[in-house]
Amino acid sequence: MTRRLVILTEIISPYRIPLLNALAQHKGVNPHVIFLAETDPHLRQWRVYKEEIKFSHQVMPSWRKRFGRYNILLNRRMGRALSTAAPDAILCGGYSYLASWQTLFWARAHNVPFLLWSESNLQDSRRGYAPVEFLKAEFFRRCDGFVVPGRSAREYLLSHNIKDNAIFTAPNAVDNDLFATAAAAVRRDSSAHREEMDLPSRYFLFVGRLVREKGVFDLLSAYAKLDSNVRQEIGLVYAGDGESRQKLQQQASLISPGMIKFAGFVHRERLAAYYALADMLVLPTYSDTWGLVVNEAMACGLPVILSRAAGCAADLIRNDWNGMLVQPRDVSSLTLAISTLASQRDLRVTMGARSEQLISQYSPEEWSIAIAHAMQSTVTSRD
């Protein structure tokens, strides 16, 4: 039996389109995606790849306002949109918007099973605000089931007394084939691409927003602590933009010898080139519900040095097998990990191959199968 699944999510993220396209191909699911807004121009510089969308969807009328670090997003006609979609089940991508609560109450009023996509983890430094935790607990109490991307998110829900059999895992994924194919093409003519992109012959790579909580200053400090001979040979490339960029550049200018490049925000179709030519990805984040850049880097065959605070750390990085795990804010350990991998080419190649092997299990198809199972199980339990 094919069932109608309504998915509520904030914006049209390029990372989610391949997953939702895969779900639309699943015989047991007829998905309809409700986007609360097309994009968030104040926080994201992503392109909106509407031409790639192959699933039923709509973008709700919205009003957005930012007050410091708080984001207010209001939508009109949610009840009408839900009634028109006529879902057999709902998957909601969060609890922090008014529309999420409206959808939850609509589902309860119409006896429609309600699943929450939850990525929070116990390591996330953003946790701990009492009012937020209270609202989250109230939201949890009203859900019929939960979908998580991996082990850290599952452990978080278990710590909130959610029953294990109410939690389903749908592995977070990106379009592995897109990144792997593009990276292979770049490596076939690596010299030309390095020259065109003005990249060092070797470099460590960071991809993400340039904000303090991503550990970007720790990475710069770790680079500065490397032996001067290493810094003469290997550069550091930041691919991303954010409020800390200017201060990072000021501090980077004081590091000598060294080759530090700020590439700015890089759109998806160019990212694979940065991964393909790098020695490794380094993400020393303090706060990351998952870290999809790790998926991307692994699809491109890179070893990864990753903070244990990242939600994906427990699932994607096997310490000393396809990368190295470090504690957040531990610059000494970060420096040692970078230095160790930088000096061992064969180890980097082996780890990169293992990364590519492991990430093949985290595909849009696997995600869609898990979502379909979660929906079917939840609906059946209500029948």
pLDDT means over runs of 10, the chain (383 residues): 95 94 95 93 77 96 78 90 98 93 97 96 68 86 97 95 96 97 97 96 97 97 97 97 96 96 94 98 95 98 97 97 98 98 98 98 97 95 72
Give me Rg for the CA atoms of the chain: 21
| Same structural domain, 118 and 206 | no
Give the Å distances, CA to CA, from 1 to 29, 113, 120. Answer: 8, 16, 32
Helix boundaries (H) for the chain = 17-24, 78-85, 98-109, 130-141, 151-159, 176-187, 190-197, 216-225, 228-233, 245-252, 268-277, 292-299, 313-316, 331-342, 345-359, 364-382
What is the per-residue pLDDT for 369?
97
What is the per-residue pLDDT for 65?
82
**pLDDT tens profile 259-285:** 999 999 999 889 999 999 999 999 999
Distance CA 127, CA 142 (A): 21
CATH code of the domain covering residue 317: 3.40.50.2000
- Structural domain count of the chain: 2
| Same structural domain, 212 and 98 | no
| 3-state secondary structure at position 238 | strand
| 3-state secondary structure at position 29 | strand
| Same structural domain, 235 and 327 | yes
Q: Return the residue matching tokens 């490397």.
A: 226
Structure-block tokens of residue 147: 């979908």
| Same structural domain, 66 and 103 | yes
| Same structural domain, 132 and 66 | yes
Structure-block tokens of residue 16: 């989610």
Q: What are the beta bridge partners of residue 92?
A: 8, 116
| Same structural domain, 142 and 87 | yes
Nearest CA among 20, 310, 371, 9 for reference residue 170: 371
The answer to whether 321 and 302 have CB atoms below 8 angstroms apart is no
Q: Domain limits at 232? A: 176-359
Nearest CA among 367, 355, 356, 205 for reference residue 270: 205
Distance spanning both ends of the chain, measured CA to CA: 13
The answer to whether 296 and 207 have CB atoms below 8 angstroms apart is yes
| Same structural domain, 11 and 150 | yes
| Same structural domain, 36 and 137 | yes
| Same structural domain, 282 and 348 | yes
| Same structural domain, 156 and 206 | no
Structure-block tokens of residue 154: 């599952």
What is the per-residue pLDDT for 72?
84
Give the Å distances, CA to CA, from 120 to 46, 51, 312. Answer: 23, 31, 11
| Same structural domain, 261 and 333 | yes
What is the per-residue pLDDT for 124?
67
| Same structural domain, 56 and 152 | yes
**pLDDT tens profile 24-77:** 999 899 999 999 999 887 766 778 889 999 999 999 998 988 776 667 889 999
User: pTM to 2 decimals?
Assistant: 0.94
Give the Å distances, CA to CA, from 114 to 34, 81, 111. Answer: 15, 16, 9
**Which amino acid is present at 157?**
L
Structure-block tokens of residue 288: 């990351």
Nearest CA among 325, 326, 322, 265 for reference residue 299: 322
| 3-state secondary structure at position 331 | helix
